[in-house]
Amino acid sequence: MKMRDIHRRWSKSENESQSEPEDESSSEDEQRSDCVSEGSTDVSDIHRLTKAQWPCFIENFALSGVAAVVSKTAAAPIERVKLLVQNQGEMIKQGTLSRPYTGVIDCTVRTFKSEGLFPFWRGNLANCIRYFPTQALNFAFKDKIKLMFKQNKNDPYMVNFGKNVASGGVAGALSLCFVYSLDYARTRLANDLKSIKKGGGERKYNGLIDVYKKTLATDGFVGLYRGFVISCVGIIIYRGCYFGFYDTLKPILLGPDAGIMLSFLLGYGVTVTSGLISYPVDTIRRRMMMTSGQAVKYKGSMDCMFQILRQEGVMALFKGAGANILRGIAGAGVLAGFDKLVQVYTGVKVDISSSG
């Protein structure tokens, strides 16, 4: 097996990993394919590594965590701008934003002028912390969920398609049960501008713990999970679109000798398209999050959607989508970074093992 075949396998696992809105741990075989060094030209080189030389689960967990934290931190300024543009309608109602942003650039310039550089990473800590329990939960639930929705190659395409979407929905909902409050805290911190009502010098939240304290004091436990149900719906919509588009376009656009770049472009294109289709759901859930602790709240996700449509128009549901695409480009470095990190780490382990 030549290196291009190994790259094709890596590309396949890369595209499949993008099917989840949240990060998902790789299988053992996919992890091993990531360990192939750039200089290797034959798959037999892989098998010469002993079991002790492969990164174990804890090592893989730590390495992927480092790659994810670096990637999320690099993309954090784009993520915060996206959240500010997306939720500006709610902030205007609450009196923390004086006038609407005209776009991503206007938001970036105004935020920099009023807050400086460092606050662009506001909420990033919660986003990074969220990665680790999500990965641990995916690992814990993965085998059980696969058994629940076991696929059969003899079943019709739509049956296996439905199982794939359902398994993703269940996995996503289970993970959200544990990490949703961190996403809520990240959203509130990112959108916590200095109040114009108080002269522009004071924020509502002092940090991550303060978000939990104040939300529990005003809204109780429910306040941390406002928008949870529509978030689960969003996962199903995203996965349905992703697999529907990818499985349809893959045999048409990718032949048996398709290179890694073409496979990546298809996976990324489908990811962006699926993200745009499900983006209104993300807007609704985050707008619902923003009402925790406020006197006026939406009655539910449908009420939220109709109020946004009536007061702000259809395009309000897509505000920040451009920044979201840019964030995806920055975040695409996770897999490439993880691949390189594992290569270097495995090389060091091999050298130590050989010298020992």
Q: What is the pLDDT of residues 122-166, one digit of tens each?
A: 999 999 999 888 888 877 787 788 788 887 888 888 888 888 888
99: left (phi over 0), alpha (psi -120 to 50) or beta: beta
Q: Where do the domains of the chain lie?
A: 3-355
Supply the angle between the helices 260-289 and 321-331 in degrees, to the nearest 10: 130
Residue of 354, 339, 351, 331 lying closest to 124 (CA atoms) = 331
Structure confidence at residue 107 (pLDDT): 95
Average pLDDT, the chain: 78
Residue of 290, 276, 288 lying closest to 318 (CA atoms) = 276
* pLDDT (average), residues 92-102: 90
* pLDDT (average), residues 62-72: 81
Q: How confident is the model at residue 22 (pLDDT cuts 50, 70, 90)?
A: very low
Question: CA–CA separation, 256 vs 329, rounded Å?
Answer: 26
Weakest-pLDDT range from 101-110, 219-228, 268-277: 268-277
Residue 4 CB partners (closer than 8 Å, separation 6+): 259, 260
**CATH code linked to domain 3-355:** 1.50.40.10
Q: What is the 3-state secondary structure (H, E, C) of 92-103?
A: HHHCCCCCCCCC
Choose between 234 and 43: higher pLDDT: 234
Question: CA–CA separation, 278 vs 66, rounded Å?
Answer: 28
Q: How confident is the model at residue 33 (pLDDT cuts 50, 70, 90)?
A: very low
Q: What is the pLDDT of residues 259-299, one digit of tens each?
A: 777 777 888 888 888 899 999 999 999 999 999 988 888 99
Supply the angle between the helices 124-148 and 157-190 in degrees, to the nearest 10: 160
Kindly provide the b/e burial profile for residues 311-342, where b requires at least 16 CB atoms within 10 angstroms of the residue's own CB.
eeeeebbebbbebbbebbebbbebbebbbebb
Q: Is the pLDDT of residue 37 over 50?
A: no
Predicted structure pTM score: 0.77
Q: Is the pLDDT of residue 179 over 70?
A: yes
Q: How confident is the model at residue 78 (pLDDT cuts 50, 70, 90)?
A: very high
* pLDDT (average), residues 26-42: 36
C-alpha distance from residue 155 to each of 94, 152, 160, 203 (Å) = 52, 5, 7, 56
